[in-house]
Structure 1
Amino acid sequence: MNAVATDLIRLIDQSPSLEVLVLRCVLAESQRAGERPLIRGIGPASFALLRETCLPGVELDNADQPAARFDEFEELFELLLDYAAPLDPMSIWLAAAIATAAQRDNHLWQDMGLPSRRELNALLRQRFPSLAALNVGDMKWKKFFYRQLCERAGVPICKSPSCGVCVDHPVCFGPEV
């Protein structure tokens, strides 16, 4: 086990808040997946504060690399910030973490490294309550966010992100019974 993994395990045992746990999961999942930056949209000073708040004593590099493909990071980041309550550094970090993970190919909770959708639901209700309240049909979060972006852009038909490569494609798009 490497030093970063050992430090992460030590920190998880300290019973932090849901927000801190989620950010730790996102950072660990981004690192596991070899993503760079680990969380987009956060400058060096803000990332240093995030690291000190969530992972004190753990050295992580958030070095930026240009996005290899077109994505909706900025639009989703802005959507989340518009609904953040309160709009504080933690909400900004969480919005950036969610928007970063949403560019990946699986369910959002999986792309964030969370154990289940339940933690993502709780986080969204806690930090983005009025946006979470709009999801009255309990739509999967990534799909819901992209629908919100389509509504903002005035696009009547909205394709879900990465459906063709999602592991649950047969479940979501299988024949009706």
Structure 2
Amino acid sequence: MNAPEPSLSHLAEVVPPLEQIVVACAIAQSQRIGAQPLIRGLDDAAFAALCARCLPGVPLTNGRSASAPFDEFDELFALLCEHASPRDELSVWIAAAIATAAQRDEHLWQDMGLPSRRELSAILNLRFPSLAALNDRDMKWKKFFYRQLCLRAEVPICKSPNCADCSDLAVCFGPED
């Protein structure tokens, strides 16, 4: 006997609201700007599973692109996955959405289509707490991620030995309106 299809209310229990909002916004933003794939790093089966779990009844395809791959997607995706907690499928999907959006030009929360930086910070603290904790001075998330990647690669990127003395302080820590 086959198990019944889960109801929408059951899916809401499986995928907490914050995670649903983040995934839905990331996909909607990608569709709005015509990005292909909508979320990089997920094969067709993983993308279909993500949509079935987080956006039931919404017919989407991830698409493919013949264009060059994003420069730092793999490194950022790996960094996020290393800090995922719990290390489950949903964290991997969210890491892929964040790493995809990070390749765009606006603030990360805007690139993900989120209402504000607050939702981005909340999901990072919830799903990637050890990484989020390293951002103890509230640096802009995209700047923070790229700083982490440069530190890992032992590539100096900063003009100054510490943030307090840097001429780019406002660029890294200023408001994100």
| TM superposition score normalised by structure 1 | 0.80
Give the Cα–Cα distance (whole angstroms) in 1 for the partners of residues 50 and 69 of structure 2.
26
1:69 CA drift (Å): 6.1
Q: Which 5+ residue runs of structure 1 have no aligned equivalent?
A: 1-13, 160-168
Partner of 2:79: 79
1:91 CA drift (Å): 0.2
1:64 CA drift (Å): 1.5
Moved over 2 A (4+): 66-70
How high is the sequence identity, in percent, across the aligned residues?
Answer: 65
Partner of 1:141: 141
1:20 CA drift (Å): 1.1
Cα pair distance change 1:47/1:136, threshold 3 Å: same
Give the Cα–Cα distance (whole angstroms) in 2 for the partners of residues 60 and 32 of structure 1.
13
Total equivalences in the alignment: 151
1:63 CA drift (Å): 1.3
Checking the alignment, whether the CA contact within 8 Å between 1:125 and 1:133 is kept in structure 2 is yes
1:41-80 matches, cutoff 5 A: 41-68=41-68, 70-80=70-80
RMSD: 2.2
1:117 CA drift (Å): 0.2
Larger radius of gyration: 2
Cα pair distance change 1:81/1:158, threshold 3 Å: farther
| TM superposition score normalised by structure 2 | 0.80
Q: Which 5+ residue runs of structure 2 have no aligned equivalent?
A: 1-11, 160-167, 173-177
Partner of 1:172: 171
Checking the alignment, whether the CA contact within 8 Å between 2:76 and 2:145 is kept in structure 1 is yes
Matched, 1:115 2:96: no
Checking the alignment, whether the CA contact within 8 Å between 2:39 and 2:100 is kept in structure 1 is yes
Cα pair distance change 1:82/1:69, threshold 3 Å: closer
Partner of 1:157: 157
Residues 7-47 of structure 1: CA deviation (Å, up to 9, x unaligned): xxxxxxx7951011100000000000000000000011111
Structure 2 counterpart of 1:27, one-letter code: I
Give the Cα–Cα distance (whole angstroms) in 2 for the partners of residues 112 and 128 of structure 1.
17
Partner of 1:90: 90
Which is further off, 78-87 or 59-68? 59-68
